[in-house]
Amino acid sequence: MRFYVRLVRDSDGWIAGNESSDDVGRGATREEALAELKAVLADRFGRVEAVAPPSRPRMNPTIDLVVLG
């Protein structure tokens, strides 16, 4: 899955924000903010929310972050 993100510097470090949702990652460095956002997105899209789980476990989704601007 590909997500487009914006990086913003604030007084505490960096914020990586997903363009198509409210998901964000924060970190002291750009890399930490992107890694946290990637973990948040992997958790969101890797969860099974069905009444009965699938017979085969789902593989972790591949998350590709594209930094804009």
Please report the pLDDT score of residue 62 as a whole number: 84
Can you tell me the mean pLDDT for 38-63? 73
Number of domains in the chain: 1
- The Cα–Cα gap between 34 and 54 comes to 30
* The pLDDT of residue 49 is above 80: no
Q: Is residue 34 part of a domain?
A: yes
Tokens of 64: 């590709």
**Percent of the chain's residues with pLDDT above 90:** 59
pLDDT at position 48 over 80? no
Q: Sign of the CA dihedral 48, 5, 17, 65?
A: positive
Task: Evaluate whether 14 touches 33 at the Cβ level (below 8 Å).
Answer: yes
Domain that includes residue 25, residue range: 2-45+57-67
Q: Is residue 41 situated within a structural domain?
A: yes
b (16+ CB within 10 A) / e for 42-56: eeeeeeeeeeeeeee
Taking residues 11-27, what's their average pLDDT? 94
